[in-house]
Structure 1
Amino acid sequence: MKKSLIALAVLAASGAAMAQSSVTLYGVADVGFAHEDNGSTSVNRMDSGNLNGSRWGLKGSEDLGGGLKAIFTLEAGFSLDTGAQADAASFFNRQSFVGVSSNFGTVKLGRQMNPVYATASTWDSFGDALAGDSSHLFSYNGSRTNNMISYNYSANGFYGELQYGLGEVAGNNSITGDNSAGRSAAMFVGYMRGPFDVVLTHQNIHNSGPYTTATKMTLLGGNYDFGVVKLFAAYAVEKTLGVGAKDQKDAHLGLTAPVGTAGTVELSYLRKKDDLVSNANAHQVAVGYVHTLSKRTALYTSYAQMSNESAAAYSAGKLVVPAGNSDKVFDIGVRHSF
Structure 2
Amino acid sequence: MAVSAVLAASAGVASAQSSVTLYGIADIGVEYLTNAPAASGDGSVFRMSSGNMSTSRWGLRGKEDLGGGLSAIFELESGFSLDNGSTSSRLFDRSSFVGLSGGFGKLTLGRQTTPLYDTAILLDPMGFAPHYGLYRSDDILAGRADNAIKYSHSVSGLTVSGLYSFGRTGTGEVAGQSKVDRNFGGSLHYANGPVTFGVAYDEFQGTSIATRDNKDRRLLAGGSYAFGPVRAFAGYRWLKGSVATGSDFRSNLYWLGARYQATPALSLAGAAYYTDTRNSKADPMIFVVSSDYMLSKRTDLYLNVAYARNKDGSQLGLNGYGSVVAGENQTGVVAGIRHRF
Whether the 8 Å CA contact 2:135–2:142 is kept in 1: the answer is no
2:301 to 296, 299, 305: 299
Equivalent residue for 2:76?
A: 74
Aligned to 2:252: 249
Please state how far the C-alpha of 1:260 moved relative to its aligned partner. 1.5
Write the letter of the residue equivalent to 1:199. G
Q: Match of 2:222?
A: 221
Alignment partners' CA distance in 1, 2:266 and 2:116: 27
- Residue segments in structure 2 that go unaligned for 5+ positions in a row: 37-41
**Residue pair 1:139, 1:238 contacting (<8 A) in 2 also:** no
Which string of whole-angstrom CA distances, capped at 9 and with x for unpartnered residues, describes residues 153-173 of structure 1?
011221021000112342453
| Structure 1 equivalent of residue 110 of structure 2 | 110
> 1:228: how far off?
2.3
Given the alignment of the two structures, is residue 284 of structure 1 paired with residue 281 of structure 2, yes or no?
A: no
What is the CA distance between 1:142 and its match in structure 2? 5.3
* Structure 2 equivalent of residue 43 of structure 1: 45
Distance 1:323 1:310 in 2: 9
| Equivalent position SS for 1:38 | strand
Cα distance in structure 1, aligned partners of 2:134 and 2:15: 43
Shift of the alpha carbon at 1:114? 1.7
- Find the residue that maps to 2:316 and give its secondary structure: coil
Alignment partner of 1:173 is 2:174: no
Shift of 1:37: 0.5
Cα offsets for 1:56-115 (capped at 9, x unmatched): 111101111111100000111110000111x12x11000000000110011000000123
Aligned amino acid, residue 12 of structure 2:
G
Q: Which residue of 2 aligns with 1:315?
A: 317
Q: Could you tell me whether the CA contact under 8 Å between 2:119 and 2:199 is conserved in 1?
A: no
Asked if residue 263 in structure 1 is aligned to residue 266 in structure 2, the reply is yes
Q: Which amino acid aligns with 1:145?
A: A
Shift of residue 148, structure 1, vs aligned partner: 0.6
SS in 1 for 2:13: helix
Whether 1:332 aligns to 2:316 is: no
Contact 1:162/1:186 (8 A) holds in 2: yes
Contact 2:28–2:52 at 8 Å: present in 1 too? yes
Q: What is aligned with 2:57?
A: 55
CA contact (8 A) 1:132 1:268 kept: no
Deviates more, 1:20-29 or 1:113-122: 113-122
In the alignment, the residues of structure 2 paired with residue 240 and residue 121 of structure 1 have an alpha-carbon distance, to the nearest angstrom, of: 22
- Residues 196 and 78 of structure 1, relative CA distance in 2, 3 Å threshold: same
How is 1:21-36 mapped onto 2 (pairs within 5 angstroms)?
21-36=18-33
1:78-89 aligned at under 5 Å gives the runs 78-85=80-87, 87-88=88-89
Q: State how far apart, in whole Å, the 2-side matches of 1:297 and 1:247 are.
A: 41
Query: What percentage of residue pairs aligned between the two structures are identical?
Result: 35
Task: Report the residue type matching 2:291 in the other structure.
Answer: Y
Contact 1:272 1:281 in 2 (8 A): yes
- The separation in 2 between residues aligned to 1:133 and 1:121, in whole angstroms, is 10
Q: Give the distance between the partners of 1:328 and 1:133, measured in 2 at CA.
A: 14
How far apart are 1:262 and its partner, in Å?
Answer: 0.1
Deviations 1:151-199 (A, max 9, x none): 110112210210001123424532xxxxx01000111111222210111
| Structure 2 counterpart of 1:182, one-letter code | D
Cα distance, 1:8 vs. partner? 5.0
Deviation at residue 9 of structure 1 after TM alignment: 5.9
- Contact 1:31-1:81 within 8 A present in 2 as well: yes
CA shift digits 1:207-257 (9 cap, x unpaired): 111113000000001211112210011001000158242110000100000
Q: Distance in 2 between matches of 1:197 and 1:141?
A: 18
Query: What is the CA–CA distance in structure 1 between the aligned matches of 2:330 and 2:117, rounded to whole Å?
Result: 23
Q: Is the 8 A contact 2:259 2:267 kept in 1?
A: yes
Structure 2 contact 130–319 (Cα < 8 Å) conserved: no
Match of 1:177 in 2: none
Who is 1:238 aligned against? 239
Aligned partners of 2:186 and 2:201 also within 8 Å = yes
1:16 aligns with 2:20: no
Q: Equivalent residue of 2:140, what SS?
A: coil
SS in 2 for 1:140: helix
TM-score scaled by length of structure 1: 0.92
Partner of 2:39: none
Gapped regions of structure 1 (runs ≥ 5):
175-179
Structure 2 residue aligned with 1:136: 136
Aligned pair count? Answer: 327
> Is the Cα–Cα contact under 8 Å of residues 270 and 288 in structure 2 kept in the other structure?
yes
Q: 2:148 corresponds to which letter in structure 1?
A: M
CA positional deviation for 1:282: 1.1
